[in-house]
Amino acid sequence: MFDTLSSRLDKAFSSLRGKGRLSEADISATAREIRVALLEADVALPVVRAFVGAVRERARGEEVSTSLNPAQQVIKIVNQELVTILGGGTTTLRFARTPPTVILLAGLQGTGKTTLAGKLGRWLKEQGHTPLLVAADLQRPNAVTQLQVVAGQAGVDVYAPEPGNGVGDPVAVARAAVEHARRRLHDVVVVDTAGRLGVDADMMRQAADIRDVTSPDEILFVVDAMIGQDAVTTAQAFADGVGFTGVVLTKLDGDARGGAALSVAHLTGRPIMFASTGEALDDFDVFHPERMASRILGMGDVLTLIEQAEKAFEAEQAEQLAAKMAASEFTLSDFLEQMLTVRKMGPIANLLGMLPGMGQMKDQLAQIDDRDVDRVVAIIRSMTPAERDDPRILQASRKARVARGSGVTVTEVNQLLDRFEEARKVMKQMAGGLGGPGGALRAKSAAGRKAAKKAKGAKRKGNPAARAAQTQAQRAAAEARRAGGLPGGPAGQAPGLGEGELPDLSALMRGEGLPGGAFPPPGQGHGRRR
């Protein structure tokens, strides 16, 4: 949504790079470019004036004039001012001390309130709550049925005593829903109200009546991020007629200019609390102003990327894959599993766009097609388990069969195998120059055995005094090994192990069997890691 704005801002900053000092003309030209960029993004004029004025004032100040890199300092100022107009900080839901917490959804018709109710219900359930969705939109055709379907997909309960389609009293439904939630021990009630076709006095009064009978802890105004400055006008009308405590932006995945997102929080004084970025129920999350500002300026959003990865990847699965990579046992089956997990995180271009610096590669990201990933998945799935475990057995006839089964050419199969083999080599190198986990221990053990063998086969000293010192040193070393004072124990073994047995690496990492613990417990390192 913010691609055009990002490109214009980057163009405004490009003229500043490389300058050791900014003149008044430089600051004025940059402010002018920023103003045009915001206006083209359909940001409300009062917001544009306030934003550009703040940036201009700070750019003239000491923090830029004394900076070693004025261009970077200006970008920092713009980033901070973007965070300010987007709300200043992350705002979370306010829960009632005595359940249930009542959340009222309001907004224009067509903004996606019913779907949002399902997304919010799913999100609340993931946070450990027991939400109840209430079908209080009895005007729109099939609104009740839609909420029931969405609630079923989200795995949450729904309260829908009336069929809707113009039948039933939404105020009575909302009042009864709160009592129903108390009886059934639901700790959150999400009320889906009817949408308005504009500033409709009758419908606004109905929303106010539902507010009065439910005493909501939060009233969320749902805004379609694609409708531009009209969102601000509507938001102000709702603030005067019903009042709301927070804003939810929907359709942030659209190709509109995004002015609503940059205007509504600043002009209404209400924070943006949630954002919907797609049609799927999990395309919904808490709105973070600082992350959105970072993405607008092309600086990435690593924290969101990490959170999405944590949701998609299980810790145990990640550890198993890491172990296989380190041991050079990573197969095409593991690669397939990894590809499918990455696909759960969303479009590949969106994921790469969250990385810092990728804002300069918008054209390349636009050319990324998720169907390429699907093609790779089809190729691997056309192989037998034995072929996935050992691609070397894929001769010409097998490759031709795989190509036919996946609908690609043999050349594409060969390209995949070549890339996979190169990736395995890189993984092996990254696992450690000493052979991956335990490689350093094995190297030390090998060196120790070599030294012991050399010492054992060494000639006895001819000088009586030297021979006595040599014998004494050998006895001291033997006593130390028997006492467990040196790793390796008797005969160079780990304590408590028979000949030929491998030590428990997890025990060694905890320091068991080693003098004083060879490695510190988690959080108690021996200084800075290098």
Binding site members for GTP = 107-114, 192-196, 250-253
Tokens of 22: 């900014």
**Residues flagged as binding site:** 107-114, 192-196, 250-253
Q: How many CB atoms lie within 10 A of CB 308?
A: 20
- Closest CA relative to residue 73, chosen from 16, 145, 2, 142: 16
Tokens of 507: 């025990």
Using omega within 30 degrees of 0 as the cis cutoff, is the peptide bond preceding 515 cis? no
Tokens of 7: 């490109």
Burial 111-143 (b: 16+ CB within 10 A, else e): bbbbbbbbbbbbbbbeeebbbbbbbbbbbbeeb
Check: CB of residue 379 under 8 Å from CB of residue 413.
yes
What is the SS3 assignment for 343?
Answer: helix
Phi, psi of 518 (to 5 degrees): -70, -30
Query: Residues 93-100: contacts with CB within 8 Å, 24+ apart?
Result: 93/217, 93/218, 93/273, 94/217, 94/218, 94/245, 95/187, 95/188, 95/217, 96/217, 99/181, 99/182, 99/185, 99/186, 99/187, 99/188, 100/132, 100/178, 100/181, 100/182, 100/186, 100/187, 100/188, 100/189
